[in-house]
Amino acid sequence: MASEFTEYICTQCGTQYAKTERPPETCRICADERQFVNPHGQQWTTHARLKRAYRNTVHSQGPGVTGIGVEPLVGIGQRALLVRGVDGNVLWDCIPLLDDGLAELIHALGGLRAIAVSHPHFHTCMVDWAHTFGCPVYIHSDNRQWVMRPDSSIRFWEGETMELDGGMTLVRCGGHFPGSAILHHDRDGGEIFTGDTFHVNPDRRTVGIMYSFPNYVPVSAATVRRVSRAIESFEFRRIYGQWWDAVITEGSKDSICRSAERYIAAIEGKYE
């Protein structure tokens, strides 16, 4: 059989790698302690194969915010958010599949002016998305080592904040990853898009901050303080978290304060 160079995708986390003749030995994202290697063994797929067996799903997540996912579930079940702003659309976080119907729909809505990704668990197929829409992908430079498919569309930003225009700002919070970032949008009282930086809990009133969510590995009290402080000066009413419908609609600043206090109390042994 003729060999074929392909950008392989890890089926466990949905991360796409630079073109190789054979699949990589291991997935670096899964082998890291913040994720996990498939207990049945490392497996790989490709975007072409995903396009044959999976499809994109689209559901509203709030005013001007459309959730985009994949069915059946692939990777860690990531969903991205299409944030519609005055200066055009920004894709927050990314997913392993972009089917033709969805690409057409987003083009009809004006395309994408930028993609911004919170941290490596959502890098997935960001380069394929950037090529389709001819837009840049913003990644904090402290997460550079986790980019598995380097590409000229990726812009590494540095420092603590970066303006994305249209009232949008990227804010580096750290915590889960050194370059973990959130997106702040100043419309309608303000909203933040947090990825795994502030993990919206099932009660939709509190958030979690963790080094590893699947492996239940916490961060220190000092890190919780630092991550919470990073967004103190921003106004916001809504928090869009990491999964479908993980949204806090009111009292969001207070939710973060109370959650941080509870976390610090727990890690300092006050509940024991």
Q: Which is nearer to Zn ion, 93 or 196 (CB)?
A: 196
Considering only residues 199 through 228, tell me which ones interact with Zn ion, judged by CB under 5 A.
Answer: none
Min dist. Cβ of residue 235 to Zn ion (A): 26
Q: Which is nearer to Zn ion, 15 or 206 (CB)?
A: 15
The set of long-range contacts for 104-112, using a CB threshold of 8 Å and a minimum separation of 24, is 105/58, 106/82, 106/133, 107/133, 109/82, 109/84, 111/135, 112/88
Min dist. Cβ of residue 20 to Zn ion (A): 15
Considering only residues 41 through 70, tell me which ones interact with Zn ion, judged by CB under 5 A.
Answer: none
Residue 246 token pair: 């993980």
Which one of 196, 241, 248, 256 is in contact with Zn ion (CB under 5 A)?
A: 196
Which of the stretches 13-21, 52-60, 94-102, 134-142 binds Zn ion when contact is defined by CB under 5 A?
13-21
Instruction: Give the interface size with Zn ion as a residue count (CB under 5 A).
Output: 8
Taking CB under 5 A as the rule, does residue 11 contact Zn ion? no
Taking CB under 5 A as the rule, does residue 12 contact Zn ion? yes
Min dist. Cβ of residue 199 to Zn ion (A): 8
Q: Which is nearer to Zn ion, 10 or 154 (CB)?
A: 10
Taking CB under 5 A as the rule, does residue 10 contact Zn ion? yes
Strand partners, 115: 91, 137
Min dist. Cβ of residue 143 to Zn ion (A): 11
If you write DSSP's letter for every residue of the chain in order, what string do you get? -----B--EETTT--B---BSS--SS-HHHHSTTS---TT---EE-HHHHHHH-EEEEEEEETTEEEEEEES--TT---EEEEEETTEEEEES--S---HHHHHHHHHTT--SEEE-SSGGGTTTHHHHHHHHT--EEEEGGGGGG-SS--TTEEEE-SSEEEEETTEEEEE--SSSTT-EEEEE-STT-EEE-TTSSEE-TTSS-EE-EEETTTTEEPPHHHHHHHHHTTTTS--SEEE-SSTT-EE-S-HHHHHHHHHHHHHHHHTTTT-
Min dist. Cβ of residue 197 to Zn ion (A): 9
Q: Which is nearer to Zn ion, 42 or 57 (CB)?
A: 42
Min dist. Cβ of residue 271 to Zn ion (A): 25
Min dist. Cβ of residue 83 to Zn ion (A): 19
Taking CB under 5 A as the rule, does residue 94 contact Zn ion? no
Contact letters (x/-) for Zn ion, 101-140, by CB under 5 A?
--------------------x-------------------
Residue 184 token pair: 């702040």
Considering only residues 22 through 41, tell me which ones interact with Zn ion, judged by CB under 5 A.
Answer: 27, 29-30
Which one of 13, 137, 171, 181 is in contact with Zn ion (CB under 5 A)?
A: 13
Q: How many CB atoms lie within 10 A of CB 40?
A: 7
Min dist. Cβ of residue 94 to Zn ion (A): 13
Residues that bind Zn ion (CB under 5 A): 10, 12-13, 27, 29-30, 121, 196
